[in-house]
Amino acid sequence: MNIAIERFMSYMSVERGVSPNTIAAYRNDLLQLAQFLTGPGPDAMWETVSPDTVAAYVLHLHERGYSDATRARKTASVRSFFAFLTEEEDIAEDPTRNLSSPKTGRALPDTLSVEEVEALLAAPDGPTPDAARDRAMLELMYASGVRVTEMVSLDLGDVVPDQGFVRCFGKGSKERLVPIHPRAADAIVKYLEHGRPELSSKSSGRALFLNRRGARLTRQGFWLILQASASRAGIASRVSPHTLRHSFATHLLHGGAPLRHVQELLGHSSITTTQLYTHLTSEHVRAEYEKSHPRA
């Protein structure tokens, strides 16, 4: 059972860029859930957990006298964990899909300014194959808003630079076509011409982005590249792959893109998820109003 928890911890650390303190809290929360499920008996299997079991666990937390904020965090840990197991197809259905939690406010996603993004994209410098690959990946992620898992899963042919789009497979293996900016297309062409051929090996197969051994680049590999690029760009705030995805969505909405279009580009199945960004754009509109209106 704990193997699944550690896989989830790796995902939260590498792909979501969650802080070490939060990782520790999530691990404790999930180990507490595992103890509740198994008790003194043998390990239970995650696929056997039902909505009633989860509801019983939430009641157990309440009976133990945890505050609303603590129960909300523990509930969020459980929901994120089972969403991960569902996406990874470890379980058929998410038992927390209808689970509610105490209302404590919803955190807004971290975003970079346009200037910070420009500095980040310019960070991989030089004529090396690694630099060409890193520029292509950063440009692609900001130009398309793809998830890091979607990006490292890309094969040759999934990106069509001359037509300006990328084909990726999101959650539930749903295929979508996402347009990309000419700068991203140009960076990909340069990588295909001068980077990938030098990185390629017998183990490369059809993988688009390769590591130094010629194998498909992993999420962990991209996370390290992103951290190094952010450091070279002088970005003090914590940057994760999701930060670029959030910045992509927020900058589009700031530029006037309709929420429904951003939903399609991000691959959100529900517009409710995308509506989180309206809080950010509302702040932007208010700031522009205060700056521009003669009586503001």
Q: Is 277 a catalytic residue?
A: yes
Structure tokens at 78: 């459980």
CA distance 257 to 254: 7
**Single-letter code of the amino acid located at 133:** R
Residue 179: in which H helix or E strand, if any?
strand 175-179
Location of structure tokens 């409710």: 272
Location of structure tokens 């950063």: 138
Neighbours of 36 (CB within 10 A): 14
DSSP string, 222-272: HHHHHHHHHHHTT--S---HHHHHHHHHHHHHHTT--HHHHHHHHT-SSHH
Considering the candidates 73, 216, 245, 251, report the single residue annotated as catalytic.
245
Q: Is 242 a catalytic residue?
A: yes
Considering the candidates 232, 242, 254, 284, report the single residue annotated as catalytic.
242
Q: Is 268 a catalytic residue?
A: yes
Considering the candidates 147, 196, 246, 251, report the single residue annotated as catalytic.
147
For residue 124, the 8-state DSSP code is S
Q: Is 171 a catalytic residue?
A: yes
Burial code (b: 16+ CB inside 10 Å, e: under 16) for 87-115 equals: eeeebeebbbeebebeeeeeeebebbeee
CA distance 53 to 210: 43
* CA dihedral of 200, 204, 205, 210, whole degrees rounded to 10: -90
Q: What share of the chain is helix, strand, coil (3-state, %, to 5)?
A: 60, 5, 35
Considering the candidates 7, 171, 181, 194, report the single residue annotated as catalytic.
171
* CA dihedral of 40, 44, 48, 54, whole degrees rounded to 10: 50
Q: Tell me the pairing of strands 159-160 and 175-179.
A: unpaired
CA distance 233 to 242: 18
For residue 267, the 8-state DSSP code is T
Residues annotated catalytic, as ranges: 147, 171, 242, 245, 268, 277
